[in-house]
């Protein structure tokens, strides 16, 4: 039996407004489910739950919900740098336009909460080092031989894509400070599960999560946290891939 009073208390501790002020019956049902069931399941701490939902709402482009969870993340002691880095991390997977709009929404919440801006830059690479640094962190997640083979065997007209993956996706983003590799890979798993239709990439990044030390149980907890925001079809697809990868 879920604890409804605990669900209400948790929601009120994280949020300042009604969930759905024009439909209180729907609000009550969803607060009971999200904060009574989902938030009480598994072993993720509150900071990580809110960071996951910042990424889910960025990927979904649900900007009002994003603002609500940025506010909740501040209450849960997620740092502004961690939030910004989580959203930056979305860029190679959902595209620059969506990320720019998400950053605009986050900026509004930061200003409202009197957070000193701009935040300190977290980049660690230069023009001359971004490719090799990206190649190295890509290799840590996927295996050096596999990444080298992707470069060596790419058709001539597609070699630039492999270069972009190493230098931009991994060099410009994964090498940044503020979040470690385990969290960045976990958040990438969240983005791909939220997008849907990315099963090949989701399969590869599920394997990468296991490689960098994120367990099957953790990934189940992560996708459970996403479920109310991505629906059951994408949740079940992700669980099938977790099962497929971890049973091999």
Q: What is the pLDDT of residues 212-239, one digit of tens each?
A: 999 999 999 999 999 999 999 999 999 9
Q: What single DSSP character describes residue 121?
A: P
Q: Give the Å distances, CA to CA, from 31 to 55, 72, 158, 226.
A: 20, 14, 48, 15
Average pLDDT, the chain: 97
User: Tell me: the pLDDT tens digits for 62-73?
Assistant: 999 999 999 999
pTM above 0.95, yes or no: yes
**Res 58: pLDDT:** 98
Tokens 């979040």, residue? 179
Q: Name every residue whose Cβ is closer than 8 Å to that of residue 44 and which is 6 or more positions away in sequence.
A: 52, 218, 221, 222, 225
């Amino acid at each position: 039996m879920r604890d409804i009073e605990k669900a209400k208390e948790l929601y009120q501790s994280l949020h300042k407004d009604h969930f759905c002020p024009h439909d209180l019956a729907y609000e009550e049902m969803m607060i009971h489910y999200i904060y009574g069931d989902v938030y009480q399941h598994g072993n993720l701490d509150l900071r990580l739950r809110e960071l996951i939902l910042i990424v889910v709402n960025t990927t979904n482009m649900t900007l009002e919900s994003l603002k609500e969870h940025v506010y909740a993340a501040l209450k849960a002691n997620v740092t502004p740098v961690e939030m910004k880095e989580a959203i930056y991390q979305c860029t190679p997977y959902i595209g620059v336009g969506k990320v720019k709009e998400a950053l605009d929404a986050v900026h509004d919440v930061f200003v409202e909460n009197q957070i000193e801006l701009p935040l300190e830059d977290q980049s660690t690479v230069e023009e001359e080092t971004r490719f090799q640094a990206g190649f190295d962190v890509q290799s840590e997640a996927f295996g050096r031989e596999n990444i080298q083979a992707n470069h060596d065997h790419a058709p001539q007209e597609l070699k630039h894509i492999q270069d972009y993956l190493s230098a931009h996706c991994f060099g410009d983003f994964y090498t940044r400070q503020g979040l470690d590799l385990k969290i960045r890979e976990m958040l990438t798993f969240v983005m791909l599960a939220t997008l849907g239709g990315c099963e090949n990439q989701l399969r590869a990044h599920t394997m990468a999560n296991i490689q960098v030390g994120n367990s099957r149980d953790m990934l189940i907890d992560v996708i459970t946290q996403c479920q109310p925001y991505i629906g059951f079809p994408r949740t079940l697809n992700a669980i099938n891939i977790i099962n497929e990868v971890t049973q091999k």
